[in-house]
């Protein structure tokens, strides 16, 4: 007699129960729930020893069949967008953990041929694409200035972590004026070199400051809200950086 429930196993090769933190476990499970779908019928069971083995049980014959179809759809790029996105989210987590992963049913039957491989660290990194230079402005908090070269490094903080800092340069005379605004909010104008990130969106690779002005807290907050709103509209529909900047200037 066929069992009503089907157990699935997600294996992370580089982690063990001792090295898998609760925070990381929650991130994996959140994405796995979207990959598998059937959230009312998929229950997390346990983490087993060896490599980190996350066990999920799908309750019911029909739900297990739908999960199997969804996983096969992800393999053929025919699954819902949210499932494909969650697959890539897991891949990113695995890449950060220097791991690869496999999701598979432990019994066949209705979920047969639904194994799903997550390449993680083995997936070739998509290169960043340089898209040219553009005159524009950047807003942020002046957190670092100084150097011995004729062009002085200037760092503006706009977010958190290493990716939340614009790395700019300025002439010595301009850097001397900027130094009076250390740890204050400023807007700098000049020519930036922009690249297209693998996951979409733009990144400022370098920025030569030509002039600047101090910003009030309210002005900076509004600028950040405008930037987030522009990004949420989706940069993928914009054909070039120039179009992106023209749209931003309309605001």
pLDDT, position 106: 84
Tell me the pLDDT tens digit for each residue of 185-212. 999 999 999 888 765 677 888 999 999 9
CB burial of 149-182 (b: ≥16 within 10 Å; e: otherwise) equals eeebebebebeeeeeebbebbbeeebbeebeebe
* CATH assignment of 6-122, among 3.30.1660, 3.30.70, 3.60.21, 3.40.50: 3.30.70
User: What is the mean predicted confidence (pLDDT) over 173-185?
Assistant: 94
Length of the chain: 251
Domain boundaries along the sequence of the chain: 6-122, 129-250
Long-range contacts from 166-169, C-beta under 8 angstroms, 24+ separation: 166/138, 166/140, 166/204, 166/207, 167/206, 167/207, 168/138, 168/206, 168/207, 168/208, 168/209, 169/206, 169/207, 169/208, 169/209
What share of the chain in percent tops pLDDT 90? Answer: 45
Examine the pLDDT at 214 and tell me if it is beyond 60: yes
CA dist 191 and 168 (Å) reads 10
Give the mean pLDDT of the chain. Answer: 83
> How many other CB atoms sit within 10 Å of the CB of residue 107?
14
Among 8-12, 86-90, 159-163, 192-196, the least confident range: 159-163
Judge if 6-122 and 129-250 fold alike in CATH terms: no
User: What's the pLDDT at 1?
Assistant: 42
**Domain 129-250 CATH superfamily:** Nucleic acid-binding proteins (2.40.50.140)
Q: Of all residues in the chain, what percent carry a pLDDT higher than 70?
A: 81
């Amino acid at each position: 007699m066929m069992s009503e429930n089907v157990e699935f196993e997600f294996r992370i090769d580089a982690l063990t129960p001792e090295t898998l933190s609760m925070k990381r476990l929650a991130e994996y499970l959140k994405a796995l729930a979207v990959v598998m779908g059937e959230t009312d019928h998929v229950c997390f069971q346990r983490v087993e020893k060896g490599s980190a083995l996350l066990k999920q049980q799908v309750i019911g014959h029909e739900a297990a069949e739908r999960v199997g179809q969804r996983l096969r759809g992800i393999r053929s790029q025919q699954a819902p967008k949210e499932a494909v996105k969650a697959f890539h989210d897991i891949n990113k987590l695995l890449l950060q953990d220097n791991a690869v992963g496999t999701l598979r049913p432990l019994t066949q039957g209705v979920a047969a041929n639904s194994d799903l491989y997550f390449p993680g660290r083995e997936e070739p990194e998509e290169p960043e694409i340089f898209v040219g230079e553009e005159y524009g402005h950047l807003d942020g908090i002046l957190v670092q200035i100084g150097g011995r070269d004729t062009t002085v490094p200037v760092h503006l903080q706009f977010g958190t972590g290493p990716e939340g800092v614009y790395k700019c340069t300025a002439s010595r005379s301009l850097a001397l004026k900027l130094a009076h605004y250390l740890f204050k909010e400023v807007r700098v104008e000049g020519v930036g070199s922009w690249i297209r990130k693998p996951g979409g969106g733009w990144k400022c690779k370098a920025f030569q400051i030509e002039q600047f002005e101090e910003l009030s807290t309210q002005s900076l907050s509004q600028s950040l809200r405008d930037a987030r709103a522009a990004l949420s509209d989706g940069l993928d529909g914009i054909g070039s950086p120039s179009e992106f900047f023209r749209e931003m200037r309309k605001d």
